[in-house]
């Protein structure tokens, strides 16, 4: 195992007290200055406006990152929010999450209440995160340079080589490494970004275009969880450093049928 030191670099930017942009990764020492520059640049030129407050954290990691592969990525051709919800219900309920829990998450994410972190929803539909307003932020995750180049190449072929997709895929891959997480639903809070995703260990990362109407400035993330200590899960999500070091398949548009047929062949 590598003895090289790793650093978690995290950026959060706000404009007039409202969160507009965030980014993070795990890097070696030589890359710190470059990444601080890059993240600062991102905060100052975000589509939602120019940040007037940028918080940067550079932290030496005390433990070596756990190295894991990314989830495979696919896209369903969902034509509107109703179709995206229907597909989410089918896929998430197939791994044991109750429909009422999925409905509850859609309702909360569409309610307009902005949360910084993710909801933790048990599979029966009961919220379990200690702070219902803030949710749980997932931090200390990244991707190796080699895997990042491979991911850019694979996403590039699909016209998806951008930070939004890459960061969401890294996050979902880290989160589902924990056995308590059965599934995830995410809707972007960017009013111009209408693609969301669901993820499960069985099906991987499934993008859902048009999950919301353009112009809607809210969204969020929920993890469906079962069987264990919430405290222990939160500790993993926030403290365990995870690095993606290999990339599974990145495929274009597939049908729901193909998703169910291929799950055992991934």
Number of residues that bind ligand PML (CB under 6 A): 11
Strand partners, 222: 119, 185
Distance CA 10, CA 138 (A): 11
Our CB check for ligand PML shows the closer of 6 and 155 to be 155
Residue nearest to ligand PML (CB): 188
Which among 83, 67, 112, 125 is positioned nearest to 244, based on CA atoms? 67
Q: Does 260 bind ligand PML (CB under 6 A)?
A: no
Our CB check for ligand PML shows the closer of 69 and 96 to be 69
Query: Shortest gap between Cβ of 229 and ligand PML (angstroms)?
Result: 28
Query: Shortest gap between Cβ of 26 and ligand PML (angstroms)?
Result: 18
Tokens of 91: 């896929």
Pick from 23, 26, 165, 247 the residue near ligand PML by CB under 6 A.
165
Q: Does 78 bind ligand PML (CB under 6 A)?
A: no
Q: Does 91 bind ligand PML (CB under 6 A)?
A: no
Q: Does 218 bind ligand PML (CB under 6 A)?
A: no
Our CB check for ligand PML shows the closer of 6 and 185 to be 185
Q: Does 234 bind ligand PML (CB under 6 A)?
A: no
Distance CA 147, CA 42 (A): 22
Contact 247, 70 (CB under 8 A): yes
How far is CA 32 from each of CA 6, 13, 101, 103, rounded to the nearest angstrom? 10, 18, 41, 42
Q: Does 117 bind ligand PML (CB under 6 A)?
A: no
Tokens of 19: 């969160």
Distance CA 235, CA 76 (A): 33
Give the 3-state secondary structure percentages of the chain, helix then strand then coil, rounded to 5. Answer: 30, 30, 40
Which residue matches tokens 């291929």? 262
Q: Residue 239: which H helix or E strand, with range?
A: helix 230-239
Query: Shortest gap between Cβ of 222 and ligand PML (angstroms)?
Result: 12
Scan residues 180-199 and list those touching ligand PML (CB under 6 A): 186, 188, 190, 193, 195-197
Our CB check for ligand PML shows the closer of 47 and 130 to be 47
Our CB check for ligand PML shows the closer of 168 and 225 to be 168
Distance CA 77, CA 80 (A): 9
Our CB check for ligand PML shows the closer of 97 and 155 to be 155
| Footprint of ligand PML (CB under 6 A) | 164-165, 168, 186, 188, 190, 193, 195-197, 207
């Amino acid at each position: 195992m590598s003895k090289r030191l790793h650093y978690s670099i995290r950026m959060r930017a706000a404009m007039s007290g409202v969160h507009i942009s965030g980014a993070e990764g795990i890097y070696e020492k030589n890359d710190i200055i470059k990444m601080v520059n890059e993240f600062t640049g991102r905060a100052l030129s975000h589509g939602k406006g120019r940040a007037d407050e940028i918080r940067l954290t550079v932290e030496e990691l005390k433990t070596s990152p756990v190295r894991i592969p990314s989830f495979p990525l696919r896209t369903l051709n969902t034509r509107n929010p109703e179709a995206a919800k229907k597909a989410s219900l089918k896929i998430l309920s197939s791994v044991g999450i109750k429909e009422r829990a999925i409905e509850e998450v859609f309702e909360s994410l569409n309610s307009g209440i902005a949360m910084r972190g993710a909801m933790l929803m048990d599979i029966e539909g009961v919220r379990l995160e200690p702070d219902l307003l803030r949710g749980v932020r997932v931090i200390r995750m990244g991707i190796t340079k080699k895997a990042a180049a491979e991911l850019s190449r694979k996403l590039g072929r699909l016209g998806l080589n951008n930070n939004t997709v890459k960061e969401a895929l890294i996050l979902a891959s880290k989160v589902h490494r924990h056995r308590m997480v059965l599934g995830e639903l995410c809707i972007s809070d960017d009013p111009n970004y209408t693609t969301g995703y669901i993820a499960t260990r069985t099906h991987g990362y499934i993008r859902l275009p048009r999950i919301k109407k353009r112009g809607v400035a809210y969204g969020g993330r929920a993890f469906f969880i079962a069987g264990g200590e919430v405290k222990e899960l939160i500790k993993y999500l926030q403290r365990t450093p995870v690095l993606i070091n290999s990339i599974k398949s990145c495929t274009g548009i597939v049908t729901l049928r193909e998703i169910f047929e291929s799950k055992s062949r991934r």
